[in-house]
Amino acid sequence: MKQVFNPRLVIFILAILFGVIFSIPSVFHTKGPQINLGLDLQGGLNLLLGVKTQEALKSRYASIASSIAYEAKKSNILLDNLRSDQSGIYFDLIDTDEAGNLSDILKKFDGIKIDSSNTHYDITFTSLEEETIKKNAISQAIGTIRNRLDQFGLAEPSVTQQGKEDILVQLPGIKNAQEEQRAMELISKSAHLQMMAVDEERNAHVDSINDLEAQKYGDVILPFSDSSGSPGQKILLKAIPILDGNMLTDARVAYDQNHQPVVSFSLDSRGAKIFGDFSGANINKRMAIVLDGKVYSAPVIRERIGGGSGQISGGFSVEQASDLAIALRSGALPAPMQILEKRSVGPSLGQDSIRSSMIALISGFILVVGFMIVYYSMAGVIASVALVVNLLLIVAIMAIFGATLTLPGMAGIVLTVGIAVDANIIINERIREALRMGENISRSIHLGYTNASRAIFDSNITSLIASILLYAYGTGAIKGFAITTGIGIVASIITAIIGTQGFYLAILSKISKTKHPYFWFGISKKG
């Protein structure tokens, strides 16, 4: 009896318990850690978004430029030709006596390099700052998208960074094209809100000016949005915005006097002050509300607007207004997104995929088990038990680590079934060999395992190295495949090499006492 519980058997029993307990939730959908089904298996929308980080730099330059303009005006420093693009801010100082005051203002901005010759100034970010801005743009974009999707009310959306500048968005449970369309618009809407002054002097000629000329005046030509009631029309605006959407504190749906849905927003104290100052100084001039490069309205300022709140109107439907409010509330995307890849799988296809891979898995499994039992008799039964435990372990480990099972992952499992059997075949062949050479049962089992372990170990380690590298450097499908084969290899070392040996050791005395010990390994006595 004291021989029965050897360490290997204990490990095997623990592995069985672990495998059974932690795979139950996934198999029977009870409470506990469940395996995640990939979107290819449950249906849904899979988006890979590229972040245009260059644009993040551009908008940061623009926002610093508008701050410089504001501060300079406050201190009565006259600047000329203030412009910004994606590689810097440029302006000329009119009165060189103000150079000292100007540098005091510029000192307030971190992470910039100032290059001045005579009266001309070039301002650029340090390379460290540039990296930080790009990095922040991505993490901020992830946060913003996550926020928007949470408020949209979708089940378990996942937003993760992929590679250096890409974002992977997974939306399970999107049922139809309309929902898909709406979700995609919500995700990709920049929601970049700006207040801009209308260049009233030159606006009359807006139709005869091109972009380049406008740039020369420090202006920009923007179109009205299609829903604003004056589509096709363009307006000439001062390029440096009065204020930027990042001073926004709240946005929600409201109704105007005609009971049309509008989006009302409020600004933080700094924004409110700038807004108030500007409106007070520009009565009877127009101010444009610009969202994502389109003008929604350009009302004439009647009086100083204190309190820091405003409205965006533009013939929205209630749904559109509410999505816009969500987008504004969860912050602007710091850089525009580009859809690099879009994969959508309908729920019925997902079910078909699960069914056909289950059929493949089960029939492959039955084939292998049947074959093993016919060929190795009792040893084949033991190997089959180890195989079942192996499968349960894969499910359990994936469930605990929250790994996602994809279609290629299913293929990986099917293949693991084939390869895990290999370990048992090698061991059993070695035991048979020893038996044929006339060794007794106990010594044959010992020899079989020691001789086989070396080869199994070597081959498994090489495969494991390959799957780790594939996981580290592969994408999507390759990753899913690497996960299941990697876990499968580790599980197969535990079950096939350690586990079954423990089992043999435990029942060794019984095998030795049976009349036909050779029957256990499916061979007739001596060859």
Partner 1 sequence: MEIFKKVRIFDFVKYSKYGLIFSVILTIGAFSLLFTKGFKLGIDFAGGSVVQIKYTQNAPIDQIRELLEKDSHFKGVQVSEFGADTEVLIRFPYVQAGDEKDLGPLISNLLEPTGKFEIRKLDTVGPKVGNELKQKGILSLILATLAMMIYVSFRYEWRFALAGIVALVHDVIITAASVIVFDIDLNLEVIAALLTLLGYSINDTIIVFDRIREKMLTHKTDNIQEVINEAISSTLSRTLLTSLTVFFVVLTLYLFGGEIIVGFSLPMLIGVVFGTYSSMFVAPKLAIMFGFNIEKYHAKEVKKAKKAQEKKQLRQMYENGRI
Which of 329, 432 has the CB closer to partner 1? Answer: 432
Q: Which two tokens stand for residue 436?
A: 């044929």
**Minimum CB distance to partner 1, residue 137 (Å):** 18
Which of 24, 168 has the CB closer to partner 1? Answer: 168
Pairing of strands 261-267, 248-255: antiparallel
Which of 120, 343 has the CB closer to partner 1? Answer: 343
Q: What does the DSSP assignment read for 318-355?
A: HHHHHHHHHHHHT---SS-EEEEEEEEE-HHHHHHHHH
CA–CA separation, 167 and 406 (whole Å): 19
Which of 412, 517 has the CB closer to partner 1? Answer: 412
Identify the CA nearest to 38 among candidates 411, 339, 387. Answer: 411
* Residue 279: count of CB within 10 angstroms of its CB: 20
Which of 43, 314 has the CB closer to partner 1? Answer: 43
Instruction: Give the residue carrying structure tokens 């599980």.
Output: 491
Identify the CA nearest to 482 among candidates 435, 415, 390. Answer: 415
**Minimum CB distance to partner 1, residue 480 (Å):** 9
Residue 337: in which H helix or E strand, if any? strand 337-345
**Minimum CB distance to partner 1, residue 463 (Å):** 4
**Minimum CB distance to partner 1, residue 433 (Å):** 7
Which of 267, 435 has the CB closer to partner 1? Answer: 435
Which of 234, 436 has the CB closer to partner 1? Answer: 436
Angle between helices 347-376 and 407-436 (to 10 degrees): 0
**Minimum CB distance to partner 1, residue 429 (Å):** 5
CA 477 to chain centre: 15
What residues contact 281, with CB distance under 8 A and at least 6 apart?
A: none
CA–CA separation, 406 and 408 (whole Å): 5
What residues contact 511, with CB distance under 8 A and at least 6 apart?
A: 441, 504, 517, 520
CA–CA separation, 64 and 67 (whole Å): 5
**Minimum CB distance to partner 1, residue 324 (Å):** 17
Which of 39, 237 has the CB closer to partner 1? Answer: 39
Answer for the pair 411, 460: CB distance below 8 angstroms, yes or no: no
Answer for the pair 57, 64: CB distance below 8 angstroms, yes or no: no
**Minimum CB distance to partner 1, residue 250 (Å):** 29
CA–CA separation, 222 and 437 (whole Å): 90
Which of 175, 216 has the CB closer to partner 1? Answer: 175
Which of 297, 501 has the CB closer to partner 1? Answer: 501
**Minimum CB distance to partner 1, residue 446 (Å):** 16
**Minimum CB distance to partner 1, residue 302 (Å):** 39
**Minimum CB distance to partner 1, residue 349 (Å):** 4
**Minimum CB distance to partner 1, residue 482 (Å):** 8
Q: What is the DSSP letter of 198?
A: B
Q: Is the dihedral of CA 341, 346, 352, 354 positive or negative?
A: positive
Provide the CB-side half-sphere exposure for 44 (13 A, CA): 19
Q: Which two tokens stand for residue 90?
A: 């440029």
CA–CA separation, 26 and 33 (whole Å): 7
Looking only at Cα atoms, what is the longest distance across the chain?
A: 111
* Residue 63: count of CB within 10 angstroms of its CB: 19
**Minimum CB distance to partner 1, residue 66 (Å):** 29
Instruction: Give the residue carrying structure tokens 């005869």.
Output: 208
**Minimum CB distance to partner 1, residue 112 (Å):** 31
Which of 3, 351 has the CB closer to partner 1? Answer: 351
Which of 85, 180 has the CB closer to partner 1? Answer: 180
Hey, which residues does 300 pair with through a beta bridge? 286
CA–CA separation, 299 and 315 (whole Å): 15
Which of 63, 484 has the CB closer to partner 1? Answer: 484
Strand blocks (E) in 201-284: 219-223, 234-238, 243-244, 248-255, 261-267
Answer for the pair 256, 313: CB distance below 8 angstroms, yes or no: yes
